Amino acid sequence: MNTCRDVDGKILTEKEHIQRRWKEYFENVPADNLDDTESMTFYSVENEDIQPSYKEVTYVIKCLKNHKAPGTDQIIAELLKKEERIFGEESTILLN
């Protein structure tokens, strides 16, 4: 069940009320903070030509946690680990 709270803390359960509350919430988010880049930290890559090696890719695959929900690609960590050689080679090619 999807729920959220209104301004007074009352729990909303009806879809129409929840949608209305989210609309209110985002309309009241201060827009003046959108251009506040002074408080942001920016990072840059010193050497953009760095390409991961097969060893680095397979190491990352080995470090994946088991029994976690798959991402949008629906590939689970256990499958990547079981077929490490294949996925390591293909991933290295894709990343380079």
- Tally of domains within the chain: 2
| Residue type at position 11 | I
- What six digits make up the tokens of 96? 């380079």
The mean pLDDT of 36-55, rounded to a whole number, is 71
Task: Decide if 60 is inside a domain.
Answer: yes
What is the pLDDT at residue 63?
Answer: 92
**pLDDT for residue 32 is more than 80:** no
User: How would residue 78 be classed by pLDDT, with cut points 50, 70 and 90?
Assistant: very high
Say yes or no: 58 and 89 in one domain: yes
Output the pLDDT for position 33: 57
**pLDDT at 44 exceeding the cut of 70:** no
Residue 22 included in any domain: yes
Range of the domain at 72: 54-95
Reported as a pLDDT band with limits 50, 70 and 90, residue 52 is confident
Cβ–Cβ under 8 Å, residues 56 and 86: no
Residue 37 placed within a domain? no
Cα separation of 50 and 93, whole Å? 13
When comparing pLDDT for 78 and 36, which is higher? 78
44 lies in a domain? no
Residue 39 pLDDT > 60: yes
- Domain assignment present for 47: no
Mean pLDDT of the chain: 82
In order of 29, 52, 57, 66, 79, the CA distances from 92 in angstroms are 42, 7, 6, 22, 17
